[in-house]
Amino acid sequence: MTEKRENELLAKVPGRLFIGGEWRSAVGSRELDVSDPATGEVVKAISDASPADARSALDAAVAAFPSWSRTPARERAEVLRRAFDLLQERKEEFALLMTIEMGKPLAEARSEIAYGGEFLRWFGEEAARVQGRYGSNPEGTGRMIVTQHAVGPCYLITPWNFPLAMATRKIAPALAAGCTVVIKPAALTPLTTLYFVKLLEDAGVPPGVVNVLTTSASAAVSEVVIRDPRLRKLSFTGSTPVGVALLEQAASGILRTSMELGGNAPFVVFDDADLDKAVEGALVAKFRNVGQACTAANRFIVHRSVADEFARRVTQRVEEFKVGRGTEEGVVIGPLIDDRAVAKASQLVRDAVTRGATVTTGGSAIDGPGTFYQPTVVTGVQPGSEILREEIFGPVLAIIPFDTEDEAMRIANDTEYGLVSYVFTESLSRGQRMIERLETGMMGLNAGVVSNAAAPFGGWKSSGLGREGGFEGIHEYLQTKYTLTADP
């Protein structure tokens, strides 16, 4: 029964490229397979774009730009609002599709739709609020007019871990600002984007305004688009090394760029924390999306006086987690995305244990089918362990004890990354000091999740450039013009 529902849904997802308002096969009819990480089975074959397809997609975005950028903001907003409404109607289909191709439990897939959908509503509302300014120059000899203009055709590259939200977080502000786009989802999870672009077509997005390229040749396809002088903006979410390579390519065309890159979030628990709140916050900050989030807490820096108790409580809760395919009732821990992710979690835990840490629960990969790793807690992690430097991207909660506030800050900031931090304390003054001292673009104070469409999401240091969401998000797709009109 379930399988029938899944097959019917998969049959509804367009398996081709969407270019200039048409669903087309890739040049040479090449295809790539999409698999379910919980079973390892291929679920659908879809078009595999080549550089020639990439050029066609950019042609379409360039051709559609003059008309879309001149479309009244209210009309663009209404298209986004229709898309938001359609997403609510198709919520269960999108949730199931994400669980099939990415593995996250259905309940989490539904939360992602709630979060991701808000970008459509928020930026639809923002579209009509883009304003400039007007005033005399200080010398009183002329008027200064400052206006905002759509940047132009944009290239959007998204990762596999939040297949819907990463797409809406880029497409919605771009369309609201009057830009046209080519989007390239990760080859591991392209189905959600394809089905979402179908939804945008149904919502009335005109031909060429949104184009989608699915490909197994990300580097070659992307380079063609990024090096084309007609492209005006690159927005990328993914790993820091790929972000660096793309920034180098973008430099030759002085492209505007937004970079949402990797993280290594500290989660600091002080001795004055409410431990119940800290444990709840820790479980969601660590195990949401099976730890596969750029915002996932990576290092649990816990005051020595409460470290054992904190470890005991999280271990007890983690032992209750049900592991399985995300479609099964009650599952909290789904599969990791692929074999490499399992190998990485295994290696990081092995290294931490070799250097003196203790595993209190989990600690091993689970035999197939599917790519599963046990939810794991590791205590007493020693300085120098790889797990403190690397993004774990798996269900491993690593605890490092500390003695003083200064020491906690030193450990927390000792990373090239600066995306998000979490702090648990009941002291207002300590919380305020943490806001000043933690080198991250976002912070959760007694909160284990911070993402919100109304807030500026983004990182410091090697975690990226620019912001998505909030008032700031639409400005990533706008450019400023200043005009001086001489007084008559």
Chain residues in the site for ligand NAD (CB under 6 A): 157-162, 184, 186-187, 218-219, 222, 237-239, 242, 245-246, 260-263, 294, 391, 419, 459, 464
| CB-based contact 378:387 (threshold 8 Å) | yes
| CB-based contact 99:334 (threshold 8 Å) | yes
Q: Can you read off the two tokens belonging to residue 443?
A: 């912070």
Cβ–Cβ contacts within 10 Å for residue 91, how many? 15
CB of 94 to ligand NAD, least distance (A): 18
Region for residue 254 given its phi and psi (left: phi exceeds 0; alpha: psi -120 to 50; beta: otherwise): left
Query: Which among 263, 257, 314 has a CA at the least distance from the CA of 293?
Result: 263
Q: Which is nearer to ligand NAD, 153 or 238 (CB)?
A: 238
Q: Which is nearer to ligand NAD, 114 or 219 (CB)?
A: 219
Spot the catalytic one: 93, 260, 391, 476.
260
CB of 158 to ligand NAD, least distance (A): 6
Q: How far apart, in whole angstroms, are the C-alpha atoms of residue 236 and residue 220?
A: 16
Q: How far apart, in whole angstroms, are the C-alpha atoms of residue 298 and residue 395?
A: 10
| CB-based contact 441:460 (threshold 8 Å) | yes
Q: Which is nearer to ligand NAD, 93 or 260 (CB)?
A: 260
CB of 486 to ligand NAD, least distance (A): 45
Q: Which is nearer to ligand NAD, 239 or 446 (CB)?
A: 239
Q: How far apart, in whole angstroms, are the C-alpha atoms of residue 27 and residue 24?
A: 9
CB of 82 to ligand NAD, least distance (A): 26
Q: Which is nearer to ligand NAD, 238 or 394 (CB)?
A: 238
Residue, CB closest to ligand NAD: 238
Query: Which among 93, 99, 153, 91 has a CA at the least distance from the CA of 120?
Result: 91
CB of 223 to ligand NAD, least distance (A): 7
| CB-based contact 211:64 (threshold 8 Å) | no
Indicate if 260 belongs to the active site. Answer: yes
Q: How far apart, in whole angstroms, are the C-alpha atoms of residue 351 and residue 465?
A: 32
Residues classed as catalytic: 260
